[in-house]
Amino acid sequence: MALLFVLLLALGLRFYRLDAQSFWNDEGNSVRLSERTIPLIIEGTASDIHPPLYYLLLRGWRELLGETEFGLRSLSAFAGVLTVAGVVGLARQLTQRRKGA
């Protein structure tokens, strides 16, 4: 029950007013890069410090949820919720190990 509460809280905090502001400069760059074809995304990130996986995921995500601020930002928000779930799971494992020791 606590996990569900934490995940719902994480979901609410990440998605609340997700589209309240227009794109920031770096978000606009990500959108422009994700509009390219897959080979051009890989080529465009070859000399960049950021690997191409995010832009490739964003390219597919655009097809599912559209090109609105909410749709494009929701990929990162969803990843944040999954991160919270992973941290909670890891914390449970670590605390159970201490109880068993």
Q: pLDDT tens-digit profile of 49-65?
A: 989 999 999 999 999 99
Residue 58 lies in a domain: yes
Q: What is the mean pLDDT of residues 63-74?
A: 94
Residue 60 lies in a domain: yes
Residue 101 lies in a domain: no
Write phi, then psi, for 16 (nearest 5 degrees).
-65, 125
Tokens of 31: 């959108």
> Is the CB of residue 21 less than 8 Å from the CB of residue 73?
no
> Is the CB of residue 25 less than 8 Å from the CB of residue 70?
no
Residue 36 lies in a domain: yes
Return the pLDDT at 97.
73
Return the pLDDT at 101.
56
Q: What is the mean pLDDT of residues 26-45?
A: 94
Q: Which domain holds residue 72?
A: 26-82
Largest CA distance in the chain: 53
Return the pLDDT at 100.
60
Residue 98 lies in a domain: no
> Is the CB of residue 48 less than 8 Å from the CB of residue 30?
no
Q: Is the pLDDT of residue 92 over 60?
A: yes
Residue 50 lies in a domain: yes
Query: Residue 57 belongs to what H/E stretch?
Result: helix 53-65
Report the range out of 45-49, 58-62, 97-101 with the highest average pLDDT. Answer: 58-62
